[in-house]
Amino acid sequence: MEVLHSKIEGEGKPFIILHGFLGMSDNWKTLGTQYAENGFEVHLVDQRNHGKSFHSDDFNYDLLSDDVINYMDHHNIDSAFVLGHSMGGKTAMQLATSHPDRVTKLIVADIAPKYYPPHHEFIFNGLAHLDFDMISDRREADEELAKHIKDRGVRQFLLKNLYWVEKEKLGFRFNYKVLKERMEEIGENIFPNAVYEGPALFVRGDRSEYIQSNDFPEIKRHFPKAQIETIDKAGHWLHAENPKQFFKKTFTFLNS
């Protein structure tokens, strides 16, 4: 079984960070360094079909969770602190409820244990218009994407995935074809009877709609010890929009 690609920084207690859909470990570089400077061995992991990790036609949260267990076994990690954002948060929830002994504490960023209908169509519609036989640099890719995706922040996030596949030929690191086909899987929930009795922190952005107050009972049903915190002046990318407060709240929880 292939092992997920990662960047490891710092020394201390193992801390695994899982990025969101169409993201990669690099999205967490700044915060990862902060955790690493404060007593953690930080593992910034690329999930399958993302970043520099392997591509596969198989894609669901069961497999994504198994990938992390395989990664932990490979690196001789018995138990780790685990943080997951969005899709990574679903992976982290699946991991904690399936293998509670392997998760010391759980942090879930801006996603609830519920089904989300597919809502990334506009992104894939924009990506479909990128012809890398014609586009020769990042600026041209951004200009084309801008015709379909108005939000500059979303475009910058996607364009971080650009890399030189070969000389003068750009491509995306994520597995466009499979992820487009598996959009339904991204919204899937963890198992209905899944429970993690360990310490858990759910953080949501005050401008995000991903975790509503009516989701709190469902969070508590799956994660009885869950604390729920709100990050000010932040949407779904709360860790990038208010990193200072995000770090403070998560770091306090990790050390409590």
Side chain identity at residue 251, one-letter code: F
| Helix or strand run (H / E) with residue 80 | strand 80-85
Choose, from 86, 208, 222, 239, the residue flagged as catalytic. Answer: 86
Q: Give the pLDDT score at 191.
A: 87
Does residue 15 contact residue 35 with C-beta atoms inside 8 Å? yes
- Residue 71 burial (10 A CB sphere; 0-12, 13-18, 19+): buried
The dihedral region occupied by 182, where left means phi > 0, alpha psi between -120 and 50, and beta the remainder, is alpha
DSSP for 179-248? HHHTHHHHTPPPPTT----S-EEEEEETT-SSS-GGGHHHHHHH-TTEEEEEETT--S-HHHHSHHHHHH
Give all domains of the chain, ordered by start, each with its CATH number.
6-116+188-254 (3.40.50.1820), 121-181 (no CATH)
**Model's pTM, two decimal places?**
0.96
- Inter-CA distances, 233 with 16, 123, 144, 230, 241, Å: 26, 24, 30, 10, 7
pLDDT in tens, the chain (256 residues): 899 999 999 999 999 999 999 999 999 999 999 999 999 999 999 999 999 999 999 999 999 999 999 999 999 999 999 999 999 999 999 999 999 999 999 999 999 999 999 888 889 999 999 999 999 899 999 999 999 999 898 999 999 999 999 888 999 999 999 999 998 889 999 888 999 999 999 999 999 999 999 999 999 999 999 999 999 999 999 999 999 999 999 999 999 9
Does residue 46 contact residue 5 with C-beta atoms inside 8 Å? yes
Q: Give the pLDDT score at 42.
A: 98
**What is the tally of helices (H) and strands (E) in the chain?**
11, 9
d(CA 4, CA 68) in angstroms, rounded, equals: 8
Q: Give the pLDDT score at 202.
A: 98
Query: Would residue 236 show up in a list of annotated catalytic residues for this protein?
Result: yes
Q: Give the pLDDT score at 121.
A: 87
Q: Give the pLDDT score at 47.
A: 98
From 6, 22, 97, 34, select the one nearest 251 (Cα to Cα). Answer: 34
* DSSP code for 12: S
d(CA 185, CA 59) in angstroms, rounded, equals: 7
DSSP for 133-164? TT--SHHHHHHHHHTT---HHHHHHHHTTEEE
Structure-token pair, residue 154:
């979303």
Choose, from 19, 222, 236, 239, the residue flagged as catalytic. Answer: 236
d(CA 250, CA 238) in angstroms, rounded, equals: 12
Strand, coil or helix: 116:
coil
If one counts every other C-beta atom within 10 angstroms of the C-beta of residue 7, the result is 17
